[in-house]
Chain A
């Protein structure tokens, strides 16, 4: 049996286990360990198992994961998500589709405090959904906006997606975070365009609402000063060399905690809820990471990546064509496999291939994250749509999936723009961590 064949069997086993309902992290572990035994025998495989688990759990750079999750939870507990939505609502709510626009802007703002798409969708959805329905917004537009807006959580830093990518590819977390800012703003803008198109074609989806008075607008703006301060201090601290992007996670969590105290929302129950949820989400991420740390070396060991790369090289496509094929494959796989798991499973093969084509690893990280965002909202396994349908109990899942289509198209446009103008991703990291010459 050739190594590449064992590698393929490993993938087959992995997908079989996942289809049965084995949690992704444990499916990676089982397939990885079985494959490693086939490649190197039991004793080496047994060694890999505990060694990799420990190496992952004690990896300094991964300390950002629990800290960013904590920051998001604290921010949500102190009511910052509501403030964000309010300010956008007061200023643009009176426009046609304005509340949907406010939701997208709120999501973008909250994304700067939250590393997870699901958390962003839940948090903003809770605030925005009842409001949009109250003003007569259509089911499709209101749920689609939340599901799609939530995905900004992994593009605008901080982002668990970038942390995983950085860990798996040994790239700088800091550079990836900074690289996500402009594409994140661009995608926010494209979402707003999508909303404008929707309400132009179907005005009933997002009717205009009575404008807010100036006093209300400024009051909401002042209230949002808290969150703006946290974001500016965190980004400013990185830019000003006060702390590293890894440390920014802890600093952000500290600010969010301070906000909780200042707003007199700190109670035992709140703290215990925040800690409990932070631990559970951290466990979710690390289970997958540990599984990946066993599965990825097995795939490298099997030699499968080289075989696949050889096949791709043989195709008469050129770098752009190959890249398009990869993106297409992700769009399809993203339909059935949850985003972060998909990245973890495929990077051992795709990353060397993309580097071989001569693409910039930071830029590809951004592309990768947008493609994962598409997966988060595409049927049948669109995690963000599931989340939204738990908030909007009265709306059918099919309606949510129909509602995200325009936003999915906006993501395609974003990917194409990034391919045409890679500077959108590389400009900021290149100037912020500026060269001395």
Chain B
């Protein structure tokens, strides 16, 4: 046991890395269209047990010092397949919603900022494909040159402590119902109601420490 054992220590994204077969498009999209500065690059080869092509690993700043990074392998051809992105290709039997599930969402502080990024995208060959208001956020979406879905989002209002409590309760219920082999939304909502009743006496504590879980 040490002084850090129960602390939440991570500080955001150092970098999230993806392969690319189109470094020219990738640089145009992130640096020239979106205006994300190039902040680092490394060239290297396969020096480890697995032999692979020479490659370059390059980084764009996505705010807060966080970075999105790409690997470009010299001479490597795109993998065969029809649907998906540079990393993964899928058959026709994989549904569209599943392909659309994995994405990177970047945050902005204001409607003006969101509008500005929409303008930059709409002036490029990667126009905004969708603009959506969810419950508490507003987002724009496009696919980058590699087929990766990029979302830019802003909060319409701050997340409240009761939403954090509710999220924790939802996840506890989800783990319970999936663990017992009863994975359905009906089972989840029933289990959540049970947990709401169970925790009725503890709201003051839970709302005071929204990050605490049972």
The finding on whether chains A and B are genuine partners in a shared complex, rather than unrelated, reads no
